[in-house]
Structure 1
């Protein structure tokens, strides 16, 4: 039977997760990247490469926010099975984080310098949602993953035609995010009303506009 974590253990575990999320090169994927050696880019102009890098920077920051959200919710979730689900989803988001970072390196680009700010904000929102209740917390996951899925679909369509490697990564990410959203709803997550989702969309737009270049 696995040993339950003490308060100190949880703090250490959270600190380790923060480092793995924010320190470049620290995230290690448990699954191979969808951008395998068989996926070869076509020709891209300099402007197209810059555009692809901007989109992948947005997706990388989105995964930083997802990590923070899940970590915050896992810290305050009331039911052990909900906490376990958050931790499982967080591991898949680590895969996404590592894949996006690898792709940014290939494009000779850097992650957003604003990542620590977005991490802190997302962690706080996740912890607050978890403290309100597991149903709200799971509903927040479902609504967030829905927003992420829309961004991924837009990016898949607007990536340069030659950027096949980024597109392969985003397609698998979209599959995973849809699965996380469905899991959260099936576990009892509340369906958020349209006005609240509209507010979340507005906040995500602010993030994408700033992170595209920074």
Structure 2
């Protein structure tokens, strides 16, 4: 009888870093159809409007790169198989968002952030640290992250041009999915983070979004 080979922590680490490189530079395959499919694109011949939308979608793409990193880091250090499975499931769903954002940025003649590898490594380290703190704190960190992401996406819906129907449809669906991930984390036993931790998370996110909107 052939033995089943279980990946070591080192194997998982290498796989996660490989995933980071792919998330940073390549368009992954989406399991779901993009919400923008079939929608008209009135800004297709409006370079300045496209530039504004591309900058915002670049920030959203960075958020998805970071989400991949966080989930991978948390799954790597989780003490529970059930929690690890939830992290992996959420990461798979986020791949759709990566695809949608990447594709939309191309349509807008923009580019993804040149700092993506840096964002991935930073978030991966945070994910590992959250996992080491214990599953209830790891899940709590995930829940708070997703709440802040939903807030950020809703702010983008206010900033995106009204006639950029495609980008708005993508962002709206992403907000729905992220809210579900937050609920999942809470229902799985996530602890409420201290106010100072939430504040530091918001500050870090502000730095990241400001830089990635420009670079």
Query: Is the Cα–Cα contact under 8 Å of residues 20 and 117 in structure 2 kept in the other structure?
Result: no
Partners of 2:195 and 2:46 in 1: CA distance:
40
1:194 Cα deviation after fit: 2.6
1:193 Cα deviation after fit: 2.7
Match of 1:119 in 2: 120
Match of 1:78 in 2: 79
Query: Is the Cα–Cα contact under 8 Å of residues 13 and 76 in structure 2 kept in the other structure?
Result: no
Match of 1:40 in 2: 40
1:18 Cα deviation after fit: 2.3
Q: TM-score, structure 1 length as denominator?
A: 0.93
- The alignment's C-alpha RMSD in Å is 1.5
Are 1:195 and 2:196 matched, yes or no? yes
1:15 Cα deviation after fit: 4.1
Partners of 2:117 and 2:16 in 1: CA distance:
15
Partners of 2:5 and 2:67 in 1: CA distance:
25
1:48 Cα deviation after fit: 1.7
Give the one of 11, 25, 35 matched to 1:23: 25
Match of 2:130 in 1: 129
Alignment of 1:41-120 (within 5 A): 41-43=41-43, 45-120=46-121
Q: TM-score, structure 2 length as denominator?
A: 0.93
Structure 1 runs, 4 residues or longer, greater than 3 Å off: none
Figure out how many residues of one structure are paired with residues of the other and give that number: 210
Structure 2: runs of 5 or more not aligned: none
Q: Deviations over 1:48-69 (max 9, x none)?
A: 2111011000000000000000
Partners of 1:114 and 1:11 in 2: CA distance:
21
1:12 Cα deviation after fit: 5.0
Q: Deviations over 1:65-110 (max 9, x none)?
A: 0000000000000000000000000001111011100000000111
Match of 1:208 in 2: 209
Query: Is the Cα–Cα contact under 8 Å of residues 42 and 161 in structure 1 kept in the other structure?
Result: no
Partners of 1:112 and 1:24 in 2: CA distance:
12
Query: Is the Cα–Cα contact under 8 Å of residues 39 and 166 in structure 2 kept in the other structure?
Result: yes
Partners of 1:5 and 1:33 in 2: CA distance:
35
